[in-house]
Structure 1
Amino acid sequence: MQIQSSFKMDTQRIAGVKYECLLFDMDDTLYPLSLGINLACRKNIQEYMLEHLHIEESKVPKMCLDLYLEHGTTMAGMKALGYEFDNDDFHAYVHGRLPYEKLKPDFVLRNLLLSMPQRKIIFTNADHTHAIEVLSRLGLEDCFEGIICFETLNPINSYQRILCKPSVEAFEAAIRIVNVDPKKTIFFDDSVRNVASGKVAGLHTVIVGRSDLVPGADHALNSIHNIREALPEIWEVEECNQQQMIRSLAVEATVHA
């Protein structure tokens, strides 16, 4: 799977459905938080701050959290403070030692994704290498049209301000890149802040990993596996288009017979 610089809408495939595109966060959304990947990532970030940026050890944990809360990612916060480091080196250090072996093929989720008629795209703050590794481990690498990731939103490896979720600007950029109508797009994420920003950007929103609605969320899923029960409209064809689709399928079957 390559990073997509331009996305094209498959209008034939999505004709008649209420939603045209599904945007999925990846980490702690496509797999459960309980696997501990998030904690391992945070540990690696703190070690990078200590070993490579030489930040005082006693300050690292609080600084790591504060920057994450203020800037969306700790990395973006460190760049905003003026710390200079190579983005690729940072990602290689932080993600290169993650316990990826905890991620196993998810055949249930794979079948769900493949049954959805909409365009499906990953929208993550992580780098492309990490995204590919996670999707491959989950057996989902061919379930998505493309990936919007760190490199997509930040194409030049510079020391400028980093664009990332939950910035509404990042959502607006993603919508432009995907070339989709936000009113016909559903966004899935485990982050309350990201969901709130997605709603501001005009998306339909789903909070994943909890059963209660949060500000800005239209739906709540305990698990990504509960999509069909909570959002049956993803699979529903609008009644006015059903007969047309049936006729199209009949013609196609005749041609291939």
Structure 2
Amino acid sequence: MQPADALHHVEHWVFDLDNTLYPARSNLFAQIDRRMGEYIRSHYDLPEAEAKALQKRLFRDYGTTLRGLMNERAVDPGPFLEFVHDIDISAIGPSPTLAAALADLPGRKIVFTNGSVRHAERVLSRLGVVAQFDGIFDIVAADYVPKPDPGPYRAMLDLYGLAPGSTAMVEDMARNLLPAHQLGMTTVWVRTPSDWGQPLPGDGHIDIAVDDTAEWLAAVAAARRTL
């Protein structure tokens, strides 16, 4: 299927942030993962192995470690988010390909992330694409309810006035595309080496699978110019 054939109806674009707008090989999330473990270990005075086990259980049970800490331990989300996103982002740099493709595409472009606005702004600035985005819907805007809970998807669409049938969502975690599909959005999965990000056998909620967001968007923009 050619990009233009699948996306001729799309007027607006929703993007996950980490490992979606930049390649997973940049490995920024590994830093965030370590920072979460450090926060839990120091905040609750736990041995490293016990802190890591708690972190992973909360992620599995609640969708994000933060949500689990809020539900089970009443953690203040503000200091947690500030601590875990205090990372070195020098592994990513400007992406002229991504910036040009975003500028070429019609409609609104929104970042939809389980992270914070501050983290998203740092990453977008580093990529050189801040000017191409109309908004950031972060975990705070979602009232700390993470993807793939369907509630934040509806809230995000309503906030920015996006009709699901004319909106595409791009995301590296296959499970996070299921609510988008159920709402009628076109779903684009960015292939990932993460086991947790893979589709399950029989999943039918992914419309398009791509290897690199910037390269794919450039092809989409070029194809749309010929229509």
TM superposition score normalised by structure 1? 0.76
The amino acid of 1:170's aligned partner reads P
Amino acid at match of 1:201: L
Cα deviation for residue 56 of structure 1 reads 4.4
% identical aligned pairs = 27
1:26-65 matched pairs, under 5 angstroms: 26-65=17-56
Preserved contact between residue 210 and residue 223 of structure 1 (Cα < 8 Å)? no
Q: Is the 8 A contact 2:12 2:162 kept in 1?
A: yes
| Separation in 2, partners of 1:181, 1:229 | 23
**SS of alignment partner, residue 130 of structure 2:** coil
Q: Kindly state the Cα deviation for residue 125 of structure 1 after the two structures are TM-superposed.
A: 1.0
CA distance in 2, matches of 1:197, 1:228: 22
Q: 2:177 aligns with which of 187, 192, 195?
A: 195
> What residue is the counterpart of 2:121 in the other structure?
132
Structure 1 residues 7-156: aligned runs within 5 Å: 18-81=9-72, 83-96=73-86, 98-154=87-143
**What displacement does 1:60 show?**
2.0
Hey, what does 2:4 align to over in structure 1? Answer: none
What SS does the aligned partner of 2:136 have?
strand
Deviations 1:185-231 (A, max 9, x none): 000000011012221222110001359x9421100010102324764
Q: Pick closer, same or farther for the CA change 1:234–1:152 going to 2, 3 Å.
A: farther
Q: Give 5+ residue unaligned stretches, structure 2.
A: 1-7
Distance 2:139 2:191 in 1: 23
Cα deviation code 1:15-50 (max 9, x no counterpart): xx6222100001100011111111110000011011
SS in structure 2 of the partner of residue 105 of structure 1: coil
Mapping for residues 205-224 of structure 1, pairs under 5 Å: 205-210=187-192, 214=199, 215=203, 216-224=205-213
Partner in structure 1 of residue 5 of structure 2:
none
Q: Any idea what the Cα deviations from partners look like across 1:47-82, whole Å, max 9, x if unmatched? A: 10110133443322222222212222110111121x
SS at match of 1:102: coil
Q: For 2:169, what is the secondary structure of its paired residue?
A: strand
Question: What is the count of residue pairs matched by the alignment?
Answer: 212
Q: Is the 8 A contact 1:168 1:200 kept in 2?
A: no
CA gap 1:37/1:209 in 2 versus in 1, 3 angstroms: same
Residue of structure 1 in register with 2:161 after alignment: 179
| Higher alpha-carbon deviation: 136-145 or 190-199 | 190-199
Match of 1:253 in 2: none
Could you tell me how far apart the structure 1 residues matched to 2:141 and 2:65 are? 18
- Alignment check: 8 A CA contact 2:101 2:221 kept: no
Amino acid at match of 2:45: H
SS at match of 2:90: helix
With the length of structure 2 as denominator, give the TM-score of the two structures: 0.85
Of stretches 85-94 and 229-238 in structure 1, the one that deviates more from structure 2 is 229-238
Matched residue type, 1:32: P
- Is 1:163 the counterpart of 2:145? The answer is yes
1:93 deviates by 0.8
